[in-house]
Amino acid sequence: MTRTIDVATASRELEGRPAAEILRWASRELGNKLTFATGFGAEGCVIIDLIAREGLPVDLFTLDTGLLFPETYELWHKLEGRYGIMIRGVRPSHTVEQQADEHGPRLWERDPDRCCELRKVVPLRHALAGFDAWITAIRRDQTAERGHARVVEHDKKFGLLKINPLVAWTHDDVWGHVYARDVPYNPLHDRGYPSIGCHPCTAVVLPGEDARAGRWRGRSKKECGLHVIQPGEVPDAA
Per residue in 164-177, pLDDT (tens digit) is 999 999 999 999 99
DSSP-assigned letter for residue 146: G
CA distance 58 to 126: 18
The pLDDT-based confidence of 142 (bands split at 50, 70, 90) is confident
Per-residue exposure over 185-221, b if at least 16 CB sit within 10 Å of its own CB, e if not? bbebbeeebbbbbbbbbbeebeeeeeebbbbbeeeee
The pLDDT-based confidence of 226 (bands split at 50, 70, 90) is low
In contact, 138 and 195? CB cutoff 8 Å = no
Would you list the domain boundaries of the chain?
7-190
Confidence check: pLDDT of 72 > 50: yes
The catalytic residue among 45, 115, 201, 224 is: 224
The pLDDT-based confidence of 214 (bands split at 50, 70, 90) is confident
What is the value of pTM for the model shown? 0.87
**Residue 224 bears catalytic tag:** yes
CATH class belonging to 7-190: alpha beta
Confidence check: pLDDT of 232 > 70: no
State what percent of residues in the chain have pLDDT above 90. 79
pLDDT at 3: 60
Nearest to 44 by CA among 143, 192, 128, 166: 166
